[in-house]
Homo-oligomer: A and B are copies of this chain.
Amino acid sequence: MSGGLGVSFYFGASGGGDVSLARFVSDSSAPLLEAADWIAAGAEAGEAGFGWYGLPDQDIDSVLMTAEWLKGYDAIIHVGIGGSSLGNLMLHQALLPMYFNEASGAGVPRFYLADNPDPEKASAIWERVKGSRVALVGVSKSGATAETMSQFLWFRSKMAEGGASPDENVLVITDPEGGVFRAFAREARCRSLEIPPSVGGRYSGLSPSGLVTASALGGDVRKLLAGAKAMRGLIAANRDVMTNPALMLAAIHRFHEIGKRPMAVLMPYSNRLETFAEWFAQLWGESVGKDGLGTTPVRALGAIDQHSQVQLYTAGPDDKLYTLINVRDREAEVELPSVQEKSLSPLSYLSGHRLGEMLGYEAMSTAAALVKAGRPVVWIDLRRLDAETVGALVFFYEYVTAVTGRLMGINPFDQPGVEQGKRYTYGMMGRAEYSLDAREALACFEGIKKKSVSC
């Protein structure tokens, strides 16, 4: 039985700890509701990190206008990394009919993501777009991200080689006031959009940084936000932890973390949700991985990982919570033909079935095999995968992540642990103010090298 959004959650298989889980959830009622209140109050007050909560209400006129402008290009190079790229990948894949980028139709630009600062990838992207009408989209809240800014400078310099000023083909998406990108937008008078200051990178998928390319490629971002808003309405209004799926799932995650299951597997059964699992991995890992706590997100894809990870899942250690996402009505279906050849007769059982039907059975089979092996399983059922359910799911997971972090007693909106590596890189790049960091990095690295073998 589905409600209006068409999203159902099944929590019945808790890995042999049904009674203790039920007690844990009801005992956690007060901290769960405290977390819900903390999120609502922080959002209301505009506090740093809480801005994602209000994104379903944003005015997207400037996003839609900018998307229209982007549609006039043959190709988009998007430079951004982490929260400034995973949301885009996730939305493009989930919102658009399964598509092949290089074969985009008329009026749909090809999209090239320059996330990793790998020179082979950057060069290959440039080879693919040079000579065509190219827009360069740079996304960084601070304008300081080395991986993004280095590639921004390089692609911009390549675009300038033709002689014309490249900046009329540049869009930056950044802080409204501060940072290098904002200063650049003012100086170069290029187009810009704003990431609200209170929205953190990994929670920015529904901000302009995620929406604009999704819209330019044909995604319905109004419906996406409507789905997020509907989900927010449902989970924010429900104070009963036993029927609020977000509070319930946060409690389940915490229960299994305490219960020595250090991993959280997310395994959608749809290619269009492959990068959703990737996006979740960032959201989850960076939000809850601190103070020596946090479970490790493990991204999987059904049915593929039945042929890769399910052996380990069912027969290895009992150290994971599994969430499977199934989609009931798929946008395309494939009818399997009847078999003529004698040699193929062992496959006659396939005839008359549909491929998506089989994929659904496979999801159920994996869930059942996990249950039989005593593993905890959460099942999320989408009536269909469309802009509304995607928006609902994105908001749902942001909320679950924030509540879980609060329940753990950590701050789900910061990421202090990534600063060390940044300082080391700055030092090695020759920035004088980080020379002590460079020295420390090299000393640590010597530790790795002290035992070596070459061949």
Kindly identify, within residues 65 to 119 of chain A, every residue whose CB is under 8 Å from any CB belonging to chain B. Answer: 81-83, 86, 97-103, 115-119
Among candidates B101, B294, B441, B445, residue contacting A312 with C-beta atoms closer than 8 Å:
B294
Distance in angstroms between the alpha carbons of A282 and B312 in the assembled complex: 10
Whether A371 contacts B289 in the complex (CB less than 8 A), given A122-B334, A355-B151, comes out as no
Q: Would A358 and B445 count as touching, CB distance under 8 A?
A: no
Distance in angstroms between the alpha carbons of A351 and B83 in the assembled complex: 25
Q: Would A448 and B10 count as touching, CB distance under 8 A?
A: yes
Distance in angstroms between the alpha carbons of A430 and B354 in the assembled complex: 13
Kindly identify, within residues 297 to 336 of chain A, every residue whose CB is under 8 Å from any CB belonging to chain B. Answer: 298, 301-304, 306-320, 330-336
- Return the CB mask of A264-276 against B: 1 if under 8 Å, else 0: 0000001110000
The answer to the question of A58 belonging to the interface, with a C-beta cut-off of 8 Å to chain B, is no
Distance in angstroms between the alpha carbons of A343 and B411 in the assembled complex: 33
The answer to the question of A347 belonging to the interface, with a C-beta cut-off of 8 Å to chain B, is yes
The answer to the question of A54 belonging to the interface, with a C-beta cut-off of 8 Å to chain B, is no
Distance in angstroms between the alpha carbons of A301 and B115 in the assembled complex: 11
Nearest CB of B to A383, in Å: 10
Q: Would A417 and B343 count as touching, CB distance under 8 A?
A: no
The answer to the question of A217 belonging to the interface, with a C-beta cut-off of 8 Å to chain B, is no
Q: Would B367 and A445 count as touching, CB distance under 8 A?
A: yes
Distance in angstroms between the alpha carbons of A11 and B154 in the assembled complex: 36
- Return the CB mask of A331-368 against B: 1 if under 8 Å, else 0: 11111110101111011011001111011011011111
Nearest CB of B to A142, in Å: 10
- Return the CB mask of A128-167 against B: 1 if under 8 Å, else 0: 1000000000000000101101110110010000000000
Distance in angstroms between the alpha carbons of A4 and B103 in the assembled complex: 43
| Chain A at the B interface: SS class | helix
Q: Would A447 and B371 count as touching, CB distance under 8 A?
A: yes
The answer to the question of A30 belonging to the interface, with a C-beta cut-off of 8 Å to chain B, is no
Q: Would B368 and A331 count as touching, CB distance under 8 A?
A: no
Whether A188 contacts B341 in the complex (CB less than 8 A), given A3-B455, A311-B415, comes out as yes
Q: Would A8 and B452 count as touching, CB distance under 8 A?
A: yes
Q: Would A119 and B330 count as touching, CB distance under 8 A?
A: yes
Distance in angstroms between the alpha carbons of A147 and B354 in the assembled complex: 11
The answer to the question of A12 belonging to the interface, with a C-beta cut-off of 8 Å to chain B, is yes
Residues of the B chain whose Cβ atoms lie less than 8 Å from the Cβ of A333: 119
Shortest beta-carbon contacts, A-B, top 8: A289-B312, A82-B307, A102-B102, A289-B316, A365-B424, A315-B417, A368-B444, A183-B343
Between A and B, 12 residue pairs with Cβ closer than 8 Å are: A11-B453, A12-B446, A98-B118, A115-B304, A116-B301, A116-B303, A116-B304, A118-B355, A147-B362, A235-B455, A248-B453, A306-B418
